[in-house]
Chain A
Amino acid sequence: GAGVSQSPSNKVTEKGKDVELRCDPISGHTALYWYRQSLGQGLEFLIYFQGNSAPDKSGLPSDRFSAERTGGSVSTLTIQRTQQEDSAVYLCASSSRVGGEQFFGPGTRLTVL
């Protein structure tokens, strides 16, 4: 596709349930980032993938959060046992190289009831 796509666009879940958020980066982009945008915390970095290197997980807020990137392309962010404070917009970005411009997807709005 022409840009970064994310699915679903909106997700409503109940507290305690697990959710999976998907990101399709721009074809050929080797770097992929996840960010979270919430009212209280603004935009925060979560995790970064670069090629086949081990991901940089330094921004993940708890061990309930995990992410994987299969085949160097699609990425899935998983939140286990969701809490109300997990409600936010989750943004994915990709870049053709480290330090290059990051192109953002439209985000997934997660609401935990």
Chain B
Amino acid sequence: AQSVTQLDSQVPVFEEAPVELRCNYSSSVSVYLFWYVQYPNQGLQLLLKYLSGSTLVKGINGFEAEFNKSQTSFHLRKPSVHISDTAEYFCAVSDRRGSARQLTFGSGTQLTVLP
């Protein structure tokens, strides 16, 4: 079984400032890692994913995340945020070996970009 912890439920940040959204996971098996974004009244959209290879992964909209196996973390970063980045962000994992590969989500972080 896996679990995902997003330490910050709300992150307010000023426009053009950098942001980091934290994600830690717990699993007894190897996992795949994902970040999804949910804009108001919309479904989830994949930002980026880590499956294997380079631990630094780049996603859409200028976001990137780094997989740190020793710290079991997958923090999401963006060097300069825009108003349009205001949304809820979910970190998720799936079992590499599972047949279903369903996602286990964190509780979400609401990013609010202030003018």
A residues whose Cβ falls under 8 Å from a Cβ of B: 4, 31, 33, 35, 42-45, 48, 50, 56, 59, 91, 93, 95, 98-99, 101-107
Contact = CB atoms under 8 A, between A and B. Distances in A.
A6 B54 CA distance: 36
Given A35-B105, A43-B105, 17 more contacts: A4-B43, A35-B103, A42-B106, A43-B92, A43-B103, A50-B100, A56-B100, A93-B44, A95-B101, A98-B101, A99-B94, A99-B101, A102-B103, A104-B36, A104-B43, A106-B41, A107-B43
B89 interface: no
Given A42-B107, A99-B32, A91 B44 contact: yes
A95 B100 CA distance: 11
A56 B42 CA distance: 26
Contacts of B103: 33, 35, 43, 45, 102
Contacts of B108: 42-43
Interface of A is mostly: strand
Interface residues of B, number: 22
Best-buried of B92, B100, B107 by chain A (most CB within 10 Å): B100
